[in-house]
Chains A and B, each alone.
Chain A
Amino acid sequence: MNEKIKVKVTNLIKNFGDNQVLKGINLEVHDNEVVVVIGPSGSGKSTFLRNLNRLEAPTSGSIVIDDTDIADPKTDINKVRENIGMVFQHFNLFSNLSVSENIMLAPVELGKATKEEAAKQAKELLARVGLESKYDATVQSLSGGQQQRVAIARALAMNPNVMLFDEPTSALDPEMVGDVLGVMKQLATQGMTMIVVTHEMGFAKEVADRVVFVDDGNIQEQGTPDEIFNHPKDPRLQNFLDKVLNV
């Protein structure tokens, strides 16, 4: 693991009206590190992730990614987002565009690549996620697992150096989960910095460098997969693991 700090979150607070969802989160993510965020529903882990690329604007605190404070309203958020890939629970592929157009849209629109370059890159990325045959397919013709892999390819097309995953397998049929996790594992081994919110404990154990347990709007405990899963200290974590692992 690299010692360079890629993402530094300091005292992050997010309120929705009177409801405080994030209550002062502090977290450092190093370059090439894979951090898996676990926690019960409603604990604030998705909100936390959405703050990291300002899909939700932080109420207070700072989020520094590569020396840029994205919580600062003066920051050009579009520039920062080019370097942060995001994968959503419901894939959110652009339903008016074909598979390849989904992948090519941002690089071409933002002047990162010509149409030809983007098309070549789209082919390579689709091969990487095992879907080269779907280049011209419509989004509607794909299964959920295939859509999520295209969504990952779409995010990668901008060459991000951080990837955020918001429960990427929660909306999938069980037999599709493996393909998506496979692509994510491959990304991790290639050294991508990843922050993954998930309920896939197997993935967390196998791939995570660090596991973060969030409950009640704050980080209650963090550590290596071995520390978290085999020696949990916080009673809430113990309770949570008891519920998810011993079904």
Chain B
Amino acid sequence: MKRSFIRIVGGLIALLSLFAVLNFSTTPAKAETTYQIATDSTFPPFEFANSHNKYVGIDIDLLHAIAKDQGFKVNIKPTSFNAAVQSVQSGQMDGVIAGMSITKEREATFDFSKAYFMSGVVMAAKPNGKVTSLKQLRGKRVAVKTGTSGAQYAQSIHKKYGFKIVTFDESNDMYQDVLTGNSAATFEDSPVMKYAIRQGTKLKIYTKPALSGPYGFAVKKGHNQKLPRMFNNGLADLKANGEYARITRHYLGAKGSSDTTSDRTFLGLIKQNKGALLSGFEQTVWLTIVAIFFATLFGVIVGLLGVVPSKFCNGISTTLIYIFRGLPLLVLALFIYTGIPSLTGQKIPAFIAGIITLMFNEGAYIAAFVKGGINAVDDGQMEAARSLGLPFGKAMRRVILPQGIRIMIPSFINQFIITLKDTSILSIIGIIELTQTGKIIIARNLEGFKVWAIVAIIYLIVITLLTWLSNWVQRRVRL
């Protein structure tokens, strides 16, 4: 029996190395002229998904035009700003364009192109006129978005003006905090703020742009040196031929691109975003199924290691469960996606990083109840089987496991539902599943309440279906 366990563990290792090989086989394509560029998924008007779920914006349009001008190809991957920056640092991505200000601090780890846009931070507040200047912020809260110049600006003046800073990951949440009155004002790059107001956000800009910041395209320091050079050449060409002006006017001009005219009812929102929601839904279901498969495999193996008569195997099992059940899913996901590659230099696609994360985390819970289920079978059953001369493995397989599995089934169903919900956490590493799809739609239309309600209902529907399916399976297994 012990030997067959070793075989199973060996199989698992082989499987993981297959993942690694798959990585290798997907990378060489970029060796030609296609560069992997990371961007923020929600930073209109620089990058955002339009109502056809296509990424557009000043950054995106500029980069495509420059690539065309200079004869290279780009594959733009939207993710959160933090993940975008880290994925370039860890070598997962070749470059980043995400309304990223060129700062001394960042120049230590990034090589920037020349500035392609000059921005500045403005203060916006409710238009009722209660807060109209920085001086009136004393003792109040100011909302900013993590890692932005707005946040940096707030940090630099919060002592002087005596306000408290609250940070958010998503623009919409930040605006919402001001609209509900939790925060008195928000600091944001002026083009971003202008765009949001044009989209119907009921805020007003009260200050002139401060801390004027140049936006640059960046690569990891010392890597991909050709890219910023080509970017600079292309940018110069676009400025010369009027393309640059056309693009910026399209997004910032008085008659620029706007989404306010579209239908903002529930049905209207569903109709406009049908494609995006459907593909997010598919991604969520797909993630769930693949994750459950590997988590079950991992969990059963680790759980069985916990009950074989070997102190060594029991120790491994207990340790694995302790580590992976103890780590928050979010930390584990970031560690696997950005932590490991920055150590090994080996890229891990987000989907696979997500699957590995869920495999370990959900698998640890599965291992715990597999172990518990087996231990819950009366000791007398094992003694009776062994006293007949059956070896441990045969007794386990024919007598203990069939009884243990019946005890475990409700826990399995529970874990499947938890896994489905936990896939939402993987939005942090840029997998565009249902939750991330919601964030992206909201970044464009700022209809937080309605879109989250739609997303919540979709989750509930899937979970209901999964519960029905599980109950059906449970009835069939129970003899």
Contacts and interface: CB of A to CB of B under 8 A. Distances in A.
B385, B388, B391, B398 — most chain A CB neighbours (10 Å): B388
Contact of B388 (A95, A97, A155): A155
Nearest to A108: B398
A110 B403 CA distance: 21
B392 to A, nearest CB: 9
Contact of A55 (B386, B390, B399, B406): B386
Contacts of A86: 384, 387
A88 B385 CA distance: 12
Interface in B355-405: 378, 380-381, 383-391, 394, 398-399, 402-403
B384 A92 contact: yes
Contact of B389 (A81, A88, A96): A81
A92 B379 CA distance: 9
Contact of B380 (A90, A97, A110, A154): A90
Contacts of A97: 399
Q: Secondary structure at chain B's binding surface: helix, strand, loop or mixed?
A: helix
B381 A92 contact: yes
Interface residues of A, number: 26
A110 B386 CA distance: 12
Contacts of A96: 399, 402-403, 406
A125 interface: no
A109 B398 contact: yes
A95 B389 contact: no
Interface string A151-169: 1001100100000000000
A55 B406 CA distance: 26
Contacts of A72: none
A239 interface: no
Contacts of A148: none
A176 B313 CA distance: 44
A223 B130 CA distance: 105
Contact of B391 (A78, A90, A95, A158): A78
Contact of B399 (A78, A94, A155): A94
A49 B406 CA distance: 32
Nearest to A82: B389
B398 A88 contact: no
B388 A106 contact: yes
A96 B402 CA distance: 7
A78 B387 contact: no
Contacts of B384: 86, 88, 92-94, 151, 154
Given A95-B403, A96-B402, A109 B381 contact: no
A79 interface: yes
A38 to B, nearest CB: 22
A106 B390 contact: yes
B387 A55 contact: yes
Contacts of A94: 381, 384-385, 398-399
Contacts of A92: 378, 380-381, 383-384
Interface in A50-67: 53, 55
A84 B387 contact: yes
Given A92-B378, A94-B399, A110 B385 contact: no
Contacts of A109: 390, 394, 398
A90 B384 CA distance: 10
Nearest to B397: A109
A105 interface: yes
Nearest to B395: A109
Contacts of A105: 385, 388, 390, 398-399
A118 to B, nearest CB: 13
A106 B389 contact: yes
Contacts of B398: 94, 105, 109
Contacts of B387: 53, 55, 81, 84-86, 155
Nearest to B389: A82
Nearest to A53: B387
Given A105-B398, A109-B398, A95 B381 contact: yes
Interface string B242-284: 0000000000000000000000000000000000000000000
A154 B387 CA distance: 11
Nearest to A79: B389
A109 B387 CA distance: 14
Nearest to A106: B388
A93 B385 CA distance: 9
A94 B394 CA distance: 13
A97 B386 CA distance: 16
A79 B389 CA distance: 6
Contacts of A82: 388-389
A166 B219 CA distance: 76
A18 B315 CA distance: 25
A2 B388 CA distance: 26
Nearest to A83: B389
Contacts of A55: 383, 386-387
Contacts of B390: 78, 105-106, 109-110
Given A82-B389, A94-B384, 4 more contacts: A53-B387, A94-B385, A94-B398, A109-B398
27 contacts: A53-B387, A55-B387, A78-B386, A78-B389, A78-B391, A81-B386, A82-B388, A84-B387, A88-B380, A88-B384, A92-B378, A92-B381, A92-B383, A94-B381, A94-B384, A94-B399, A95-B381, A96-B403, A105-B388, A106-B388, A106-B389, A106-B390, A109-B398, A154-B388, A155-B387, A155-B388, A158-B388
> Considering the complex of A and B, which 8 residue pairs feature the smallest CB-CB distances, nearest first?
A82-B389, A92-B384, A92-B380, A106-B388, A86-B387, A81-B389, A96-B402, A94-B399
